[in-house]
Amino acid sequence: MLTVWAHPDDDIIFANPTISDAIGAGRCVRTVFVTAGDAGKGMGYVQARELGILRAYNAMRGKDGEWDVSEITLDTGMKVRRLTPKDDPRVSALFLRLPDGNITGAGFDATGHATLSKLYDGAAGSLSPVDGGPAVTRDQLVASVRELASAFAPESTLTHIPRGSAFAPGDHPDHSVVGALVRDTLTSDAAVGPGIRYFVGYPSENLPRNLEGAVLDRKVDTYRIYTQQDQVIRCADRTACLKTRKFGEWLQRSYPKAEGELQMG
């Protein structure tokens, strides 16, 4: 399974229990985070969120443990930070660390208002990762997603709802562009395209709750473990997590959509 998200935590908020079920079933899960989710707060916040994700994945694996870190360079020239549990090579998290575009789509002062949307739309010729790594072009990013999909050969691919879908309005701009990136790049791949599922993001709060009981309990606990490293959305227990504005509603829902269900405009 390949999963591709805009920010660290999008996976555990919108795509669980699908990801946790896959890990529990012993499947390979490779998760890619395109932006650093930095919110203009710098590398300290980025590293905290990444640590939270590793701990959340440990919880889904049912094992504590250290992760091996490797800095890899794709054939495209793009730098990727890859982490894999020392005792579990079937799971990995890959961080591209491109700038967070802000919920407004305007970016942040700290990163010069650079955004993934500007890169994808051609308004910016390149985008520099927040960790000081080499800038990447749109073509490099597209080719990198294609290269990762080729390397992992996933039976299923999970990502955000893309731009143009009836489920996109009101979502984070970074979510929509990552969904579009995956759809535009991989749909035509006969081995990958049919297995792509797009998860409703922020607008899911307007859909009926569809998670409850033990499934919801596990999802919320995974999220809670992540939040202990995220100063913005930290919640102490199940009740507090479910009472968190917006997040509590998103956690109680998960809506994957196949290509034919996207209602593209």
Q: CA-based angle 202:37:183, to the nearest 5?
A: 60
Query: 57: left (phi > 0), else alpha (psi -120 to 50), else beta?
Result: alpha
For the chain, give the mean pLDDT. 98
Q: What is the pLDDT of residue 3?
A: 99
Which tens digits make up the pLDDT trace of 19-65? 999 999 999 999 999 999 999 999 999 999 999 999 999 999 999 99
Element (H, E) at 73: strand 67-73
Q: What is the pLDDT of residue 144?
A: 98
Torsion of CA 79, 35, 174, 93, to 10 degrees: 90
Mean pLDDT within 110-126: 98
Which phi and psi (to 5°) does residue 35 adopt?
-100, 165
pLDDT at 265 over 90: no
For tokens 């199940």, what's the residue? Answer: 238
pLDDT band at 168 (very low <50, low <70, confident <90, very high): very high
Q: What is the pLDDT of residue 58?
A: 98
Which tens digits make up the pLDDT trace of 187-200? 999 999 999 999 99
Q: Which two tokens stand for residue 85?
A: 């549990």
Mean pLDDT within 184-189: 98
Which tens digits make up the pLDDT trace of 223-263? 999 999 999 999 999 999 999 999 999 999 999 999 999 99
Mean pLDDT within 97-108: 98
Q: How far is residue 156 from each of residues 121, 194, 198, 257, 263, measured CA to CA in Å?
A: 27, 8, 11, 13, 21
Calculate what percentage of the chain has a pLDDT beyond 70: 100
